[in-house]
Every structure is written in C-alpha cells, then in structure tokens.
C-alpha cells in the first residue's frame, strides 16, 4: 500500500493534532503515513546554525522511505526549502521540502501571498529561491522569544498550546497589518497548521501550510 513518508527532525516538543508530526493529522485525512527521524537534525541546527547541513542524512532517509513504497515524501521543517532541488533529485517520487512550495502553485498565481515564519531573522532569500518563489514575497515572523518560537527552536518537551496559538495569530495579524493587500498567508513552519483555522478567523485571509499542500498533492496522485 502506498503511503506518505515524512522526514522528521530529531525533536521532542509538543505536536498537537494538525502538526505534521502527529499521525492523527493524516488519519483524519485518510492518508497513510510513515515517519523516519533524521538523527541529530535538531530544530536549532536546521533553522539557525551556520554550519552546513548534513544533507546526505536527509537524502538517505528519503531514499529509504521511497524504497519502502512511499509515493509522496515531505519534511518536517519549512527551512529545508533551500534544498528542494537536491532532495527531489535524489528520489523517484514527489518530495515536498516545505509549505513554501505553495508560492509556486498555479492556483495562487493571482493571489498576493505572504509568508509567516518561525524565525524572520534566520529566514533568507535561499528559502524562496529554493522553491522558485518570487524573491519579493513579504515575509514576517512570530515575536522573537515568544512561547511558540522558544519551545520549538529550543526543542523543549512542554509548551503552552493556547499561548502558542496566540503567538502565531499575533504574528499573522502583524503581517497583514504591514501588508494589507495580502490575500493568502503561507505558514512556513510545519508546527503552525494546528493554528491555521485561528489565523484564518483572525485575519480573514486564505491560509495554506504544509498539511494542506500534502493533502492537495496526495489527492492529485490518486
């Protein structure tokens, strides 16, 4: 049976339903999923460290999942967008490195898109160019040091989910205030989808993320 294969960072933080790392997220969508962890790939290392990423470790896990029968692959960190081409070239099945691939989707071509990221200071042009997105796409982050950012990048086991939701909503509201012409928000962080409905309700904007991208691609493969 075909399945979705997810390349997981090496994490221990909370993953509520809606998060890419919670199997119930995909059970609700009737998408079979299989997870494999890339050992040593912490959030801090992938998002913020200047040292070169051990990309071969991700490629090895992707190839293992593809060999087991995965018909679609995804990663659990949006910052891997910069490596979309290298990761995709290494496997024979579609691979989604990041929700930022939404920015190149034809159905959003007429939309004014913006990106909400977990860390605006760490985000750079390589994330957008890696997926062929417009380099002028507006990008903003959640507040530096907020509950959501601190717990995830610190890889801490406890997180106040109510506060995390508020942090993501506040970041989205600040972004849409700065760019009032934006029609669609793309949530870069794969841990933001649990709060997508709250973001949409607060901003009145279309909201896309890694789980919605996976669902769209999975249905297209059926």
CA angle 102, 103, 105 (to 5 degrees): 60
User: Helices (DSSP H) in the chain: which residue ranges?
Assistant: 23-27, 43-47, 55-68, 84-89, 125-130, 147-153, 161-178, 196-203, 210-221
Domains for the chain: give ranges and CATH numbers: 3-98+211-221 (3.40.50.1860), 100-209 (3.40.50.1860)
Nearest one of 121, 39, 47, 133 to 85, comparing CA atoms:
133
pLDDT above 70 (res 50): no
- How many whole angstroms separate alpha carbon 96 and alpha carbon 163? 29
> pLDDT digit string (tens) for 8-40?
999 999 999 999 999 999 999 999 999 999 988
Q: Average pLDDT for residues 81-91, to the nearest whole number?
A: 96
3-state secondary structure of 117: strand
**Do 171 and 147 touch, CB atoms closer than 8 A?**
no
> pLDDT digit string (tens) for 99-141?
999 999 999 999 999 999 999 999 999 999 999 999 999 999 9
């Amino acid at each position: 049976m075909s399945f979705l294969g997810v390349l997981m960072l090496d994490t221990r933080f909370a993953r509520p339903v809606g998060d890419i790392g919670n199997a119930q997220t995909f059970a609700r969508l009737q998408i079979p999923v299989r997870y494999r962890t890339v050992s040593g790939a912490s959030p801090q290392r992938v998002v913020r460290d200047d040292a070169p990423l051990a990309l071969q470790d991700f490629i090895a896990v992707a190839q293992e999942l593809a060999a087991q029968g995965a018909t679609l692959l995804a990663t659990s960190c949006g910052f891997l967008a910069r490596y979309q081409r290298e990761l995709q070239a290494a496997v024979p099945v579609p691979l989604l490195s990041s929700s930022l691939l939404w920015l190149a989707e034809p159905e959003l071509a007429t939309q004014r898109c913006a990106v909400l990221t977990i860390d605006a200071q760490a985000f750079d042009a390589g994330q957008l160019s890696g997926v062929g997105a417009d380099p002028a796409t507006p990008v903003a982050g959640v507040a530096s040091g907020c509950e959501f950012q601190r717990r995830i990048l610190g890889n801490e086991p406890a997180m106040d989910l109510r506060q995390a939701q508020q942090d993501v909503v506040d970041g989205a509201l600040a972004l849409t205030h700065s760019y009032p012409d934006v029609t669609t928000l793309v949530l870069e962080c794969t841990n933001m989808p649990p709060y997508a409905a709250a973001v949409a309700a607060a901003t009145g904007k279309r909201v896309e993320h890694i789980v919605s991208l996976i669902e769209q691609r999975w249905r297209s493969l059926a």
